[in-house]
Structure 1
Amino acid sequence: MTADARRATDHALVVDTANGPVRGIDDGTVKSWKGIRYAAAPVGELRWRAPEAPARWTEPLDATRVGPVCPQPTDPKLPIDLGAPQGDDCLTLNVWAASDVDAGAGKPVMVCVHGGAYILGSSAQPLYHGRALASSGDVVIVTFNYRLGALGFLDLSSFGDQFATNVGIRDVLFALQWVRDNIAAFGGDPDRVTIFGESAGAGIVTTLLASPAAAGLFHAAIAQSSPATSVYDRTRAQRVAEQFLDVLDVRADEAHRLDAVPITAVTAAAQRVFDDVPSTTPGTLAFAPIIDGDLVPAHPVELAREGRTHRVPLIIGTNKHEASLFRWMKSPLMPITPKAIREMFSAIAAEQPGLQLPSEAQIREAYRGKTKIIGMRVARDIGFRMPSIWFAEGHCDVAPVYLYRFDFTTPMLRLLRLGAAHATELPYVWGNLVAGPKDPTFKLGGLKAGKAVSARIRTRWLNFAVDATPTGPQGDPAWPAYRKDDRATLVIDAQDRVVDDLDADVRTAWGDQVLSFR
C-alpha cells in the first residue's frame, strides 16, 4: 500500500461523533472502533448519578483498544477473562462493521447488553468480540459497558436526591441514545436497531421493553435466558441498600460520603451483599432493576401481560439445562436443593398470599424423576423458563414473538454434567467457539457440529435484525411465531426442529400467575 493510499485509509477510519472524532482500524475484513467514551467517567459526585455526556474533544482519539471495564468483584470460582483492566472511566463502547460498509450505508444495527448477574462482565470479554458477526456485512455491531453491582443496581435514592435510581439501566439508555445519534456515521441505520442480551443483559432487554424511556430507541429485541421476574420493589431494594451501608459501616445520615469511599471497598462490600442475599432469601438477587415508577413503572412481565410493552418483534428463549452451571459453580444464586426451594416458596407465599402456588404433588407430576433432577428443573423454570414464557404470552399480543430452547451440547459438557447450561449458547451466537487453549468445550469432539449450529443461529439472529423495521417487515428468524393456539417453539440442537407447546406440562404446573418477589 502506498503512503497516499494508507493516508486515505486512515482518514476513512476517522469518524466524527457528537462528542469528537475517533480513529479506528481496518484488518481487511472488518473495521472496528473500540473504547469510544459515550458518557463521562462516573467518579466523585457522578458515581451514583445518571450518566452525563463526556467533555467534547477535537483531535481524533485512538479507538483501537477497548476501554477499562466497570469495577467489580473478582471471584476465583468464576475466572472470567474481562478483556481489559478495571477502571472508573468505564462507560465506553465498541463498534464493528465490515470493511466495505461506509458512512451512510444504512445497515441494521445489533447492540449487545452483556450478562453477568448484574455484577460481573464487560463488553471487552473475548466472547463478545464482534468480528464474526460483522464480517457478513449485513449488520453493524455495538457492544458497551454499563455500571454493575452496587454502582449500577444498588438503590440509594431513599438516602438523598444525589442518588439516581436504576443507574445501570440509565447507562444502557444513554448508550442507545449514542447509537441513535452517531451510528449512521459508522454505516448503521438508527431506525433499525436490534438490542440483544443474555442473562442479566436479557433481563435488561425485557425491562426496557416495558420502559417508557426506551420508546423508539430499538426496533427489535432478543432476550437469551432472561431473569425477567427478578425485578424488585423499592422496599426490598432499600433493605439491600441498608445492608450495603452496614457492611461499609456507614450510617444512613452519612450516605452522602459514599462518593468518596474507595472503589475497592465498594466492590468488596458488593461481593459480600451479593453472596448473602440469595443465601438468606433463596431465588433473589442483591442487585437487579427496581420498580422506581420512572424508568420501570411496574413489573415488566405484568406489563407485558397487560399489553403495555413496546410493539417490537422479540426472540426470547432459554437453555435446556440452565441450572447446571450454578450447581457446578456451587453458587447460591439458584435454589436447587429441596430445602432452598421450599424456603423460596414460603417467601413468595408470605409476600403474595393471594397467589396460587403449585403443590408439591403438581411439581412432582410435571417433573418426573429423581429429587435432585426435580430441583434442577424447578430452579431452571422459576428462574428463566417460566419468566420467558410469561413474557412471551403477553408480548405476542402486541408484536411477533419467536420462542426457542437451546439444547445443543458437546461430549465434554455432557461428561461434566453441564449439558446445555446457562450461557453455553453465547459462543454459537457470536461465532467465537473456542475461548483459548483451556476451553474444554470441544476437547472430546463436537466442533464440526458446533460450527454448523453456530452458522444456523447466527443466520437466524442476523435475518431477524435485518428484517425488523419500525414500519415494514417484523423480523423473520425463519421459524413460526409463537401464538397461543399452537405455541410453536424452535429447539436448537444438532438438527433444529419446531415443536408445538414444548412446555405444556411445565406451563400447566405453574399456571398463568406470575411468580415474582415484590
Structure 2
Amino acid sequence: MTEATCHVHTPYGDVIGHRDGTVVAWKGIPYAASTGGEHRFKAPRPVEPWSEPKDCVKFGPVAPQGLDNPVPMDPDTPMSEDCLSVNVWAPEPDGTPRPVMVWIHGGAYSLGSSAQTVYDGRHLAELGDLVIVTVNYRIGAFGFLDLSSFSTEQTEFDANVGLRDMIAALRWVQESIGAFGGDASNVTLFGESSGGASVTTLMTSPATEGLFHRAIVQSAPATSVYGQDRAAQVAARFLEIVDVTPDRIDELKTIDMHRLVAASDTLCYDVPARVPGTLGLAPVVDGEIVPRYPVAAFQKGFAHRIPLIIGTNHDEASIFRLMKSPLMPVTSDTVSEMFRAIANDHSDLPAFRVAEIMSAYPDRSKTAGALAMSRDAGFKMPSLWIADAHSRHSPVWMYRFDHATPMLRAARIGAGHATEIPYVFGNFGTLNRDPTFWLGGRKAAMAVSARVMKRWVAFARHGVPATLDGAKHWPKYAEPTRATLVIDGQDTVVDDPDGDLRVAWGDRVLGFS
C-alpha cells in the first residue's frame, strides 16, 4: 500500500481504493455479473472473481436510462448493462468493525445512479467513523418491467429484477464488507423516493431477513407497488412501444440497448399521464420477492422487526410542478382524475369516503390544495400508515423536513422532494449552476445538515437517533401522540402534525393496493 492507496482483499478479488479526505474510497466494485443479452430481465448472477487487483478509482457504468432527464450525470461515466456495482467510503481498515450504511438512490425507479455527486459518501463516513456503501441497480424497464406473464419454455423472465439486484448487493455487503472495516452485523439500509420505497418493500421481503438491521426511509412512495394483472398490462404496452409481438418475445434479448431505453422512457411517462398518481415501472407483488403489498404487510405485522426512521418533506410535490413532470399529479384536474380512478378501481370503496378525503382540502381547486393532496396521497399518508403499524412492535422515529433556503422559498419549491438529500450527505452545490444559496442561507443550512447527519449516524451506530448537545430530543413515534421531529432552522417536536388530515384519510391503504 502507498500513502494514497489502500489494497483490500475481498472474496472475489483484490480492490485498490484511493485516499479521499481522511477516508478511502473504492468506486465501481462489481457485485454481480453483466445483465446484457441472454441475461436481460433475469435475476442477477454472481460476479466472476478476478485475479489481478482492480483499481477502483472511477465509478462503474450508469444503468441504462435516457439522458434527457433532470438528474445530473457525469458525461464521462459510460452507460452499460454491465452496471451492477457498489461504491465504498471508509476509514482505512484497522481491525475495528464499524457500522455500515447502504444507500439506495431514488429516481421513480427509472432514473439516477450511485455516481451522482450528491450521494458521495465521504462526509458521512468521516463524520460518523463508519462505512458508506452506495448501490447501482437496474432501473426502468431493465429493472422494473415484469415480463413474466410472457415467459415461454424457451424464454423465461424474472419479476422485480431491480429489487433482486439490491438484495444481491446486500448479500455482497454480508460477504465482503468486513474487508473494508465494516460490521456486517450492523447494517443500516437507507434510501430516498423510490429508493426509500425500495427499503420499505425490502423490509417486507423474506429474502432480506438478516441482511440489514435498521432502516431509514426518506420520502417513500411506498404504495406504488402493483399487482400482476396490472404488471401484465404494462408489459403488453411496452411490447407495443418496442414493436415486438409476444410470439417474438425472445428478440428482447438481442434488441439494441438504446432502443429499449427509448421504449422504457416512453412507458415511464405514458402511464402516469394516462392514470395520474401511478408509476409506469415499479415493484410488483410476485409472491416471492414481494409476497404482499408492502404497506398492507406492515399493517399485518409481516415487516422485519427492526428500528426505523421514516419521514417526508413539507412540500414534496412542488418540484414536480416546477418540472411539469407527469410523475405526480399537481393540478386540480389531474388530482381529481387520480381520485376518480381510485374510486373506479375499488368498487368496495364508498363514494362518501373519497368525498370525505377531498373535503379535507378546502382549497383543492387551487394549486396549493392540489399539491397538498398529491403530496399526502403519494408520500405523507403511506409513511404514516407504515409508522403507525411498525411502531406497534418496533422502535420508530418520524420526521418532517421543513427547512428551505430563501431562494427555494422564493421559487415556491420550499422543502420540496429530494431537497433534504444534500443535508443527509453534507453535499451542497452538486447541481450545475446550483441556485440553492443565491439568496443566502448557507450558514443556517450547514447547521441543519450537521444535526441531520449526526442523528442519522447515531441511529446507524446505536439504533437510536441520540439526543445531540443543545439539540431537541427526538422521542419515539407511537400512537396516539405520534411525536414527530420537525426539522428546520430550529428543530421542534410536534405531536401528530396535520392530524386532521390523517383522520380524514383513515388507516386504509386507499386505492393503491
Which category of TM-score, normalised to the shorter sequence, fits these structures?
Answer: over 0.9
Report what 1:442 is aligned to.
437
Given that 2:455 and 2:465 are in contact with CA atoms closer than 8 Å, whether structure 1 keeps it comes out as no
2:254, 2:362 → 1: CA distance?
A: 51
| Residue-by-residue CA offset, 1:112-148 (whole Å, 9 max, x unaligned) | 0000000000000000001110112521000010000
Structure 2 residue identity aligned to 1:142? V
Q: Is the 8 A contact 1:82 1:122 kept in 2?
A: no
1:367 shift after superposition: 4.9
Does structure 1 conserve the Cα–Cα contact (< 8 Å) formed by 2:187 and 2:211? yes
The offset of 1:379, in angstroms, is: 0.2
Gap runs ≥5 in structure 2: 468-472
Distance in 2 separating the partners of 1:197 and 1:457: 15
Tell me the equivalent position of 1:223: 217
Report 1:194-233 matches (<5 A): 194-233=188-227
Following the alignment from structure 1 to structure 2, what is the Cα–Cα distance between the partners of residues 228 and 206? 7
Query: Secondary structure of the residue that 1:135 maps to in structure 2?
Result: helix
* Alignment equivalent of 1:464, drawn from 441, 459, 462: 459
Residues paired across the two proteins, number: 503
- 1:22-61 alignment runs, 5 A limit: 22-61=15-54
**Counterparts of 2:356 and 2:137, CA distance in 1:** 43
SS of residue matched to 1:245: helix
* Equivalent in 148, 160, 168 of residue 162 of structure 2: 168
Q: Which residue number in structure 2 is paired with residue 471 of structure 1?
A: none
Q: Hey, what does 1:143 align to over in structure 2?
A: 134
Amino acid at match of 2:407: M
C-alpha deviation, 1:415, in angstroms: 1.3
Given that 1:223 and 1:316 are in contact with CA atoms closer than 8 Å, whether structure 2 keeps it comes out as: yes
Superposition pairs of residues 303-322 of structure 1, within 5 angstroms: 303-322=297-316
CA distance in 2, matches of 1:376, 1:55: 48
- Root-mean-square deviation (CA, aligned residues, Å) is 1.6
Give the secondary-structure state (helix, strand or coil) at the position aligned to 2:133: strand
Note the C-alpha offset of 1:372: 1.7
1:380 aligns with 2:375: yes
Other-structure match for 1:486: 481
Distance in 2 (CA, whole Å) between partners of 1:361 and 1:475 is: 36
Aligned letter for 2:67?
T
The answer on 1:181 being equivalent to 2:175 is yes
Report the Cα distance in structure 2 between the residues aligned to 1:360 and 1:59, rounded to whole angstroms. Answer: 65
Structure 1 residues 401 and 162, CA gap change in structure 2 (3 angstroms): same
Q: Secondary structure at the match of 2:310?
A: strand
Larger deviation, residues 276-285 vs 26-35: 26-35
Q: Displacement of 1:9 after TM fit?
A: 4.2
Residues 1:405 and 2:400 are matched in the alignment: yes
Contact in 1 for aligned 2:364/2:373 (Cα 8 Å): no
Is residue 245 of structure 1 aligned with residue 239 of structure 2?
yes
C-alpha distance in 1 between matches for 2:129 and 2:346: 47
CA offsets 1:347-383 (integer angstroms, 9 cap, x no match): 2122222234644465344455762211010000000
TM-score (norm 1): 0.94
Quote the residue 1:98 is aligned against.
91
* Equivalent in the alignment of 2:415: 420
Please point out which of 392, 397, 419 is paired with 2:387. 392
Q: Which residue of 2 aligns with 1:88?
A: 81
Aligned to 2:104: 113
Equivalents in 2 of 1:14, 1:58: separation in Å? 14
Q: 1:26 to 1:220 in 2, by over 3 A?
A: same
Q: Deviations over 1:71-122 (max 9, x none)?
A: 101225x2522572212211011000124x43x3210000000000000000
| 1:502 alignment partner in structure 2 | 497
After TM superposition, the score normalised by the length of structure 2 is 0.95
| Conservation of the 8 A alpha-carbon contact between 2:89 and 2:132 | yes
Deviation track 1:401-430 (CA, whole Å, cap 9, x = no partner) reads: 111100000111111111100000000000
Alignment of 1:13 with 2:6, yes or no, is: yes
